[in-house]
Structure 1
């Protein structure tokens, strides 16, 4: 069996490990799973703009993947959680930015994706959270 190794993203991940007792990523063999990443900076501030928050969440996923030796081109699964704009839909503003970031960061790769609308996330002002599964070097497969 492959060894299990946990990772704390430098900056906010180290803070969460110390204060909340959880890791940002785990690697078992070639598989990397992340905890949910929000659009925060290292001091847990959130941008005013939804677009900037989603882009920062993607940046934080990238930072976290890198700590475990992976990148966006290795991602096979995305789960995203969104504070819905209304009771009927997550909203085009969320979808447009998410899809744009998928295309910019993963090129032709289209991972499986589950989007979930929620009423609240783990921090005040937080509107999006993204967690991923990656298989290192899977970008060369299929």
Structure 2
């Protein structure tokens, strides 16, 4: 494993343990050249996944990119990082178990929306505003209406 600090390829594993959800191995490493310490995660990858964007472009699936977009939606929300990690791992498992290597971006987006809806309403609305490309306040009202349901709307 290459050191992220100096680029040296001679690093040593100091500690290994499974993550809380047992879906990855967490390894603490030390660089033999500069002494820098860092953590890596090792996960099982069942198949190479490709995301097909709405414009037809094909990009390799990137779990880290998915995690970053979910973390942006979850920023400053009172949700434990372990719950977010479990949600992302669940999405990845569902994608891998679909039996397809090519996944439309809409399928991934809907899975994320479904997961966020169970975790945090604010994060759900934040993600929806970007994913569905909101243009006006009514777009927010519609999504908030989805969350509250017809029985909760005064009238």
Does TM, scored on the shorter chain, surpass 0.5?
no
**Greater CA radius of gyration, 1 or 2?**
2
**TM-score normalised by structure 1 residue count:** 0.29
Question: Which is richer in helix?
Answer: 2
Question: Which is richer in strand?
Answer: 1
**TM-score normalised by structure 2 residue count:** 0.28
Name the structure, 1 or 2, with higher relative contact order (CA <8 Å, separation 6+).
1
